[in-house]
Structure 1
Amino acid sequence: MSAASLKPLLPGEATLGVMGGGQLGRMFVHAAQSLGCRAVVLDPDADSPAGLVAHEHIHAGYLDEAGLARLAEVADAITTEFENVPAQALARLAERRFVAPAGAAVAYCQDRAAEKAHFGASGVACAPYAVIESAADLAAVADSLLPGILKTSRMGYDGKGQIRVRNRAELQAGWDELKQVPCVLEQMLPLALELSVLSARGADGTVVQFPVQQNLHRDGILAVTQVPAPAVSEALQQQALASAARIATEMGYVGVLCVEFFVLQDGSLVVNEMAPRPHNSGHYTMNACDVSQFDLQVRAMARLPLRTPRLHSPTVMLNLLGDLWFDAAGAERTPPWDAILALPGTHLHLYGKTSARPGRKMGHLNITAATPAEAERLAREAAGLLGLPQDW
């Protein structure tokens, strides 16, 4: 359903739906409820973090006809919590309700080959790559792409579905390990650091953006985000912001879009990937900005005014994985939240997940301060209390 003839959904009057019940859905639900909106979640997990706080939780699979029908019946507009919700389910919902982002836009993010083709069409450089769908494609890979990173075209996130390959023998072995599914081989580039840009685009074409975020990953999972980005020039930040806006505009995107970039050792910028939703690297916006990424997600789908967010406090975000709930011997423990919360400028967000396990995202800690140096100092102190590396 097009937004062209639809009126805004005013606070206190709307019911907003979300496909997916994880932590991003939970924070979306809280943002919707802050405007007096009802929230309904569709997720097959009866204990999903978002479902536990929503007005209604539809326990159904993402392609379940009865579940989709119920969501379309009660929600005035619908969004998605993660990129692997089937695009066809979003298209089905769009026959009856306004869906943002649209299934076609989400489909780009579900397939690395399509995603990279879109980057090229948008005039934004990415790493040299080859699409591998057959043995002939594998044999035709240019020598210049090795060493490289072999990634499954679909269903990869947080470092999953990726294998580093140094030569043709490892490339063949890697493709075999990935069950010879369609893949993308990316040339391994000399990286200096990683960035991300969060944009919100409205149905009227308005684009607003948060400041550039500097990120550190460990084992393929985001660990630390710093804003303002301490090691990035103003010119490079402006290039990243302009590139992200162009990527969103070229596909007619509506909603919050995160675009991740690499800064190479020669100072150049290449795009890595995008996520059609709020993003882990944007969680700092909940405490450091006058509107959060989830507030803008609600506004975009409700067709309410978008305005440029204001960063009012320098900040560091620490991702909290399930490893923190276990000591060195593997025994369960409770992290020292009392000591963490005694630090000034700390904002703890736990996701309400019923069990912790290593690598599972359990929450995040935002540290705000009057200056970037003070935010960094406090973040290092918090990391020390938690037993986290201080390698940023």
Structure 2
Amino acid sequence: MAGVILPGPLANSSRPATLGVLGGGQLGRMFVHAAQAMGYQAAVLDPDPVSPAGKVADVHIATAYDDEQGLAQLLQRCEAVTTEFENVPAEVLATLGAHRPVAPGAAAVAVAQDRRAEKAHFAASARLSGVGPAPHAVIESEADLARVPQALLPGILKSARLGYDGKGQRRVASRDELAAAWAQLGGVPCVLERQLGLRDELSVIVARGADGAMVTLPVQRNVHRHGILAVTEVFEGVLPVRLAQQARDATMAVAAELDYVGVLCVEFFVIDDGSADGALVVNEMAPRPHNSGHYSIDACDVSQFELQVRTLAGLPLTSPRAHSAAVMLNLLGDLWWRSGNPTTPDWAGVLALPGVHLHLYGKLDARPGRKMGHLTVTAADGHEARRVAWEAAARLGLAPWR
């Protein structure tokens, strides 16, 4: 297969092939672990000298993402490069892509970095899947603000760039609130989305190779709190079969329309349209592995991070099979604080429960809202996985969910 970067020592080298990743957070850390398990070395470029991924990588280049010397070192050491977050400058990926295989590519990441381009792409891919974005309008000027259709209110105003985990968003119910929210966001380009009757949230992770081959993880049901993922559930019956298949098809259409190479997560809302199952609208995408796919490390025979390695190295893609029902809990820095005082979560009590897998990311500073780790519960069926997860949540002081 042309372009394949084989694991293990290269034929003309005494060292294993090296895969690089831009970004040193937890996603980079888990990519490094997957790459090393498959026989590769891993290089991380991240300015934080104690980044989670940098601490476990074979090579850590501690420079800014656009530092010329740092990028030169990455090119010198690596056979291919990926990214662990979407806000790395797209021009950096373009620079690297001129010399090495880079997945995802600069053009795809640029679309994901700007909600205006993202919405336009979703509308285009809807021609293939029938699933499009929520009704919306782009606001770039006072004139755009004045032209907003009344039908989009109440709505959610979102900054076009650099928004994630609920940041850069304001709920608005009237034109006055819309104008005030736009001013609060600095008058930057924004997208206003009509607020819809939300029944559920789900996401799909797809891996697409350079040859166009695609595989997906099982569809994931998600629960968010304050704009941050709190719970992911993956088991038979957690979502209607029709909606799950429709979400899979729509995700593959998004990836194909982008000519995407790599691992991509697409998030959907299930809205109340009066039908038994509800209807899907596509919300946003992340050009990387995603928090909602972490359960795949423990519940699937191929994780999202192994898929990331395979797409980057040009290796064959096989459809992941879920061997267990799974519930994942996101562990935020709030767990390390009670009534303003530092505390240690009850890890012993949680680990005494059956099927519990704890993953902490090696971050030294536990701050409220900061992703410090995740906990996955696996079981033979969804009822048991959810029961144990509820008990684990209770022992950690996390709120229950339905």
Q: Same fold (TM over 0.5)?
A: yes
Aligned to 1:9: 6
Q: Distance in 2 between matches of 1:229 and 1:167?
A: 41
1:290 correspondence with 2:301: yes
Moved over 6 A (4+): none
Aligned counterpart in structure 1 of residue 393 of structure 2, from 375, 383, 392: 383
The answer to which of 57-66 and 230-239 deviates more is 230-239
Q: Is the 8 A contact 2:236 2:325 kept in 1?
A: no
Q: Give the match for residue 179 of structure 2.
A: 172
User: Structure 1 pair 362/115, CA: closer, same or farther in 2 (3 Å)?
Assistant: same
Q: Counterpart of 2:12?
A: none
* 3-state SS, counterpart of residue 205 of structure 1: coil
> Secondary structure at the residue paired with 2:34?
helix
Query: What does residue 360 of structure 2 align with?
Result: 350
Gaps of 5+ in 1: none
The alignment partner of 2:32 has SS state of helix
Distance 2:189 2:35 in 1: 38
SS at match of 1:98: coil
Q: Quote the Cα distance in structure 1 between the aligned partners of 2:295 and 2:373.
A: 12
Runs of at least 5 residues in structure 2 that lack an aligned partner in the other structure: 10-15
- C-alpha contact 2:289 2:305 (8 A) present in aligned 1: yes
1:306 and 2:317 matched: yes
Match of 1:56 in 2: 59
Aligned length: 388
Mapped contact 2:7–2:39 kept (Cα < 8 A): no
> Per the alignment, in what secondary structure is the counterpart of residue 277 of structure 1?
coil
Distance in 1 separating the partners of 2:2 and 2:221: 39
The answer on 1:317 being equivalent to 2:320 is no
In 1: Cα distance, 2:180 partner to 2:166 partner: 18
Shift of 1:353: 0.2
Work out which of the residue numbers 133, 149, 155 in structure 1 matches 2:156: 149
**Mapped partners of 1:288, 1:156: distance in 2:** 30
CA distance in 2, matches of 1:250, 1:92: 23
Aligned to 1:43: 46
How many percent identity over aligned positions?
63
Deviation readout 1:32-89 (Å, 9 max, x if unpaired): 0101210000001111100010011101111111111111110100000000000000
- What amino acid is the match of 1:10? P
Determine if the alignment matches structure 1 residue 270 to structure 2 residue 267.
Answer: no
Q: CA shift at 1:117, angstroms?
A: 0.3
Normalization by structure 2: what TM-score?
0.95
Q: Which of residues 122, 131, 139 in structure 2 aligns to 1:132?
A: 139
Query: Does the 8 Å CA contact 1:213/1:229 hold for their aligned counterparts?
Result: no
For residues 7 and 248 of structure 1, what CA distance do their matches in structure 2 show?
Answer: 21
Match of 1:36, SS state, is: coil
Write the deviation string for residues 72-112 of structure 1: whole angstroms up to 9, x where unpaired. Answer: 11010000000000000000001110000001000010000
Deviates more, 1:11-20 or 1:108-117: 11-20
- What SS does structure 2 have at the residue aligned with 1:388? coil
Aligned-residue CA RMSD in angstroms? Answer: 1.0
Name the TM-score, length of structure 1 as normaliser. 0.98
Give the equivalent residue in structure 2 for 1:28: 31
Q: Does structure 2 conserve the Cα–Cα contact (< 8 Å) formed by 1:214 and 1:230?
A: no
After TM superposition, give the deviation of residue 230 of structure 1 in Å.
4.0
Contact 2:5 2:79 (C-alpha < 8 Å) held by counterparts:
no
> Residue 351 of structure 2 is aligned with which of 341, 356, 367?
341
Q: Could you tell me how far apart the structure 2 residues matched to 1:21 and 1:187 are?
A: 35
CA contact (8 A) 1:212 1:229 kept: no
Task: Note the C-alpha offset of 1:292.
Answer: 0.5
Inter-partner Cα distance in structure 1 for 2:234 and 2:20: 31
* 2:236–2:382 contact (8 Å) kept in structure 1: no
